[in-house]
Amino acid sequence: RRHAARLLAVTLQHTEDVSWLPADTAEHALGCLGSASAGDPETASFGAALVGQLARRSPQAASRLVELGAPDLIAAHLATTANPLPGAIGLAHLCDAFRAAAS
């Protein structure tokens, strides 16, 4: 799961098209992000990166991620991780994309 999230996050950095992703990708990304509470901060960091890249590429995905509680999960991850950078960037992308989608 960790490596899949990492691969998808890196791939989405270099492509604009997200149509090839399964419809439940947001749910899987949040599952990875939720790994922080299970004692796996590395998977949570990759999940945060994936959340950010999904939001950055798709306003619809950003709205769905917010509906599913991504901001709260990222905040919980940021509170417990030694490396806040992936979570902070993921949250920034999510906020930017959601604001654009809401306009």
| Cα separation, 98 vs 93, whole angstroms | 8
Give me the mean pLDDT over the 53-57 stretch. Answer: 91
Asked if the model's pLDDT at residue 23 lies above 70, the reply is yes
Output phi, psi for 58, to 5 deg. Answer: -145, 110
59 pLDDT band, cuts 50/70/90, is confident
Counting DSSP H helices and E strands in the chain, the numbers are 6, 0
Share of the chain above pLDDT 90, in %: 25
| Cα separation, 83 vs 53, whole angstroms | 18
Q: What is the pLDDT of residue 50?
A: 92
Amino acid at 36: A
Q: What is the pLDDT of residue 101?
A: 53
